[in-house]
Amino acid sequence: MPILLGLFFFISGASIASFLCNLSTRLSKNEQVSRGRSHCDHCGKNLSWYELIPIISYLFLRGRCHSCRKKIDVSYTLTECILGILFALSGLVWHQSIYATLPEPQAWLMLAFWLVNASLFTLISYHDYRHFLILDRFVAAGTILNLVLLALLYQIQMLTYIAAGGLNALFIGLIVLATKGKGMGEGDIKLAFLIGLVTGFPHNFTALFLGFVSGACIGVILIISKKKTSKDIIPFGPFLSFGAVTTLLFGEQILAWYLRSFIIF
């Protein structure tokens, strides 16, 4: 049962990621989202159904367009894999720890909350990675969706989640001011608010901590491997998003481990 459940969620996540990548690409090119078929980024040929199967099509075509034989950007397939894994993890964690403990309506709302945010942060990360830009429309849509979901899940605690978002935004805003916008910008401030809103207090700090640590580690690796220099810009949105999604799924365990390991009572 867990294997079938994980497989179902993985396929669902990979399929949604395929749509989100297409959405990001069309918005970056000012193309209409609701019209026109998916096409090759190089030759413009409309893609057939067998070229649109998440992950499998990339492997079947050996990473090249069937018509022009130019390379397909691997970031599409990696994003499909990542969101597929996030959906599978969400489904399995939800089934094992949430579904059996919460009343059924609230349990299903929690699952929707996790899946919506896994998709949202994947979209934001992908767009920031490809275009070095966190779109306001993504953050605004995510904020509205989460306010609705939080109102249904935690009516009384709503203000604490909003306050956590404000603390995150203030913290990142002070960093942007201190560094004069070098490495981080207004988009990161807005994303930090969204992350605080989603994770709540005190997990908003856990999410930021994980984002900074993962960003620092990857940055050091890239510099040591000479793929980047200290002057190159590295999009920070994916790291903040990583911290957010990891905290959503495992925030309680991470905080408990930290308190046991480093806090002496």
Mean pLDDT of 173-194: 88
Q: Place 36 in a pLDDT band, splitting at 50, 70 and 90.
A: low
- Torsion, CA 149, CA 152, CA 157, CA 160, rounded to 10: 20
This prediction's pTM: 0.90
Mean pLDDT of 21-38: 79
Total number of residues shown for the chain: 265
Share of the chain above pLDDT 90, in %: 46
Query: Does the pLDDT value for residue 63 go beyond 80?
Result: no
Q: Tokens at residue 258, please?
A: 């930290």
Query: Does the pLDDT value for residue 44 go beyond 70?
Result: no
Per-residue model confidence as pLDDT tens digits over 74-133: 888 999 999 999 999 999 888 887 776 777 788 888 899 999 999 999 999 999 999 999
SS (H, E, C) the chain: CHHHHHHHHHHHHHHHHHHHHHHHHHHHCCCCCCCCCCECCCCCCECCHHHCCCCHHHHHCCCECCCCCCECCHHHHHHHHHHHHHHHHHHHHHHHHHCCCCCHHHHHHHHHHHHHHHHHHHHHHHHHHHHCCCCHHHHHHHHHHHHHHHHHHCCCCHHHHHHHHHHHHHHHHHHHHHHCCCCCCHHHHHHHHHHHHHHCCCHHHHHHHHHHHHHHHHHHHHHHCCCCCCCCCCCCHHHHHHHHHHHHHHHHHHHHHHHHHHCCC
